[in-house]
Amino acid sequence: MDFDYDLFVIGGGSGGVRAARTAAATGASVALAEESRLGGTCVIRGCVPKKLMVYASGYGEMAEEARAYGWEFGEGRFDWRPFREKLHAELDRLEGVYGRLLDGSGVEVYDRRAKIVDPHTVELADGGRKTAAHILVATGGRPVRPDMKNAHLGMVSDDVFDLDELPKSILIVGGGYIACEFACILHGLGVEVTQFYRGAQILRGFDDEARGLIADSMRARGIDLHLGTNIVEMCPEAEAGDSVRHHGTDSDAAGANGVAEAAPGTKGPVWVKATNGDEKVYDAVLFATGRKPNTDGLGLEEAGVTLARGGAIEVDEYSQTDCPSIYAIGDVTDRVNLTPVAIREGMQFVETVFKGNPTPVDHALIPSAVFTQPELGTIGLTEEAAREIEPVEVYCSSFKPMQSAFAESPERVLMKLVVSVETRKILGCHIVAPEAGEMIQLAGIAVKMGATKEDFDRTVAVHPTMAEEIVTMREPVRRS
């Protein structure tokens, strides 16, 4: 059968674009459809704009610390509007880069929605149909609001980058990395931040010691973090009645009625009642309570593709679905929801399908970072997970780094290694420190190669650095 293309990619995020380009490089005819903007979640409404906001949020504290080193500054003030303008210009530039890369690769791009009609046919939003020998779904995921009355009053993470003005106060609901990152970012930009998480500790799934230190650090910075807490009810402030108006934001951030005026682009002010009995009015509410794969209305099940609970596409180790001609990569499969993983999955898909070299996806020992303040860098097993598998030794050090100690800052860092008693291999490495993401990228190479504790011990320390502690810890703090 003759097809219009060898490959049709649905989704123009990092994974889909990489797969399309690398497939086209083999001589395959490739098309890609994207209904929104090239670059997807990471470039347009995720990793990239968030990290730029992380940078912006750190300068206030940096200036304060600089005074301890003898520098004198005038009164600083963050101005959101010029930053947002430059942020959006940078995202436009990156989207253009993605478009040029696809054009240069010979990939035909359709800037509209596509859905699957049958195992070899897609239908575009304008009614046109295209056939392909293979279809790759790379539509990513999206943030979702909780199922509760008036949830529409709250923002989701996508909305933060488009705010006309920053709110003076915000309630962030959730305890995952997105919630914690935005709590630190917005606090650093001068917003009064309250965070609710229904669990016993933030950052579930990460190492207990590491996430405990981050929680302590967030509170020390001034973030009002409430654990074991959730929203009971919420409504527009105007509907809450006079009896709750005294629960509004602090007077220095409040308008004439005792409640800060809503920032343009937010949905506040919002009255919230919490499970702990507290009632308060916030300029804005941000839900960071989960994400959902973008599979609605794609025609996947009609084509014979199995969806898991929650809508994720079920695939095998080669990213192939139950329908042999249809593959899926990235967050839409809900395997490991990280941009570099989606890119790697796209490359391994091309290796398997277009280069005749079946290559399973390797999801073992993936380094990652949480861009809180301080950051968390991690690879491998947590202490809790490792000791459920085998006997381990834990090497751990928490201390004030030189830079913070000199400035009389309470900031502490953590360096932690989880080591197999039997093989001596590093099973997990966890770092809580400024620039921990940079450190874990390099440490991740050694851990991925199977380095042992003795390999770390043989490595000469770089002094004076925070990271030297990772190779100077000689005695375990505990065995289990």
- Rounded mean pLDDT of 243-247? 47
Last residue of a domain, one of 353, 386, 406: 353
Active-site option among 134, 187, 247, 463: 463
User: Which of the listed residues 268, 287, 306 is the one where a domain comes to its end?
Assistant: 287
pLDDT band at 250 (very low <50, low <70, confident <90, very high): very low
Tens of pLDDT, residues 97-108 = 999 999 999 999
- 165-216 pLDDT, tens per residue? 999 999 999 999 999 999 999 999 999 999 999 999 999 999 999 999 999 9
Local structure of residue 118 (DSSP, 8 states): E
Q: Is 181 annotated for ligand binding? A: yes
Same-domain pairing of 422 and 462: yes
Q: What is the pLDDT of residue 75?
A: 80
Regarding whether 177 and 136 lie in a shared domain, the answer is no
Rg (CA), the chain: 24
Distance (Å, rounded) from C-alpha 231 to C-alpha 211?
23
Same domain? For 373 and 300 the reply is no
Tokens of 223: 């973030």
β-pairing verdict for 326-328 and 413-420: unpaired
The reply to whether 453 sits in an annotated binding site is no
176 belongs to an annotated ligand binding site: yes
Portion of the chain with pLDDT greater than 70, in percent: 94
DSSP state string for 224-282:
EEEES--EEEEEEHHHH-GGGGGGSS-GGG--TTSSPPPPTTS---EEEEETTS-EEEE
Contacts of 282 (CB under 8 A, 6+ apart): 167, 169, 170, 171, 194, 249, 268, 269, 270, 272
79 and 178 part of one domain: no
Q: Is 177 annotated as a binding residue?
A: yes
234 in the same domain as 157: yes
Q: Is 216 annotated as a binding residue?
A: no
Q: Does residue 440 form part of some domain? A: yes
Examine the pLDDT at 92 and tell me if it is beyond 50. Answer: yes
Contact of 94 with 48, CB cutoff 8 Å: yes
Residues 196, 77, single domain; the answer is: no
- The model's confidence at residue 247, banded by pLDDT at 50, 70 and 90, is very low
Residue 67 belongs to domain with CATH number = 3.50.50.60
Buried-exposed string 128-154: b where 16+ CB fall within 10 A, e elsewhere = eebbbbbbbbbbbbbbebeeeebbebb
Give the residue numbers spanning the domain of 315.
5-142+291-353
Q: Are 234 and 284 in contact (CB under 8 A)?
A: no
**Whether 178 and 280 share a structural domain:** yes
CATH number at residue 445: 3.30.390.30
Shared domain check, 177 and 165: yes
Q: Is residue 358 part of a domain?
A: no
Question: Rounded to 5, what percent of the chain is helix, strand, coil?
Answer: 35, 25, 40
Q: What is the mean pLDDT of residues 95-123?
A: 98
pLDDT digits (tens, 9 = 90+) for 53-90: 999 999 998 888 999 999 998 888 999 999 999 999 99
Query: Is 175 annotated to bind ligand?
Result: yes
Mean pLDDT score of the chain: 94
- Any domain includes 453: yes
Q: Residues 419-439: what's their mean pLDDT?
A: 98
Range of weakest confidence among 266-270, 271-275, 439-443, 459-463: 266-270
Q: For 174-187, what is each residue's pLDDT tens digit?
A: 999 999 999 999 99
Q: What is the percent of the chain with per-residue pLDDT over 90, rounded to a whole number?
A: 91
The response to whether 51 counts as a known ligand-binding position is yes
The answer to whether residue 248 scores a pLDDT higher than 60 is no
With respect to residue 361, please indicate whether it lies within any of the assigned structural domains.
no
Whole-prediction pTM value? 0.94
Query: Last residue of a domain, which of 287, 316, 344?
Result: 287
DSSP label of 57:
H
Residue 174 and residue 190 in one domain: yes
- Sequence-distant contacts of 201-205: CB under 8 A, at least 24 apart: 201/175, 201/227, 202/175, 202/176, 202/227, 203/175, 203/176, 203/177, 203/370, 203/376, 204/175, 204/176, 205/382
* Type and span of the H or E element at 164: none
Q: Counting runs of H as helices and runs of E as strands, what totals does the chain give? A: 13, 22
152 is catalytic: no
What's the mean pLDDT in 453-479? 98
Known binding residue 118? Answer is: no
**What is the average per-residue pLDDT within 274-303?**
97
User: Do 442 and 467 fall into the same domain?
Assistant: yes
Q: What is the largest CA-CA distance in the chain?
A: 75
Task: Please check whether residue 458 lies inside any domain of the structure.
Answer: yes
If one counts the domains in the chain, the total is 3
Asked if residue 258 has pLDDT above 60, the reply is no
Residue 131 lies in a domain: yes
Question: Would the annotation count 231 as a binding residue?
Answer: no
Same domain for 117 and 190, yes or no, is: no
Q: Could you tell me if residue 269 is inside a domain?
A: yes
Say whether 297 counts as a known binding-site residue.
no
> Is the pLDDT assigned to residue 119 strictly greater than 90?
yes
Shared-domain flag, residues 98 and 168: no
Residue at 363 is within a domain: no
Residue 252 has pLDDT above 80, yes or no: no
pLDDT tens string 127-152: 999 999 999 999 999 999 999 999 99
Residue range 7-56, pLDDT digits in tens? 999 999 999 999 999 999 999 999 999 999 999 999 999 999 999 999 99
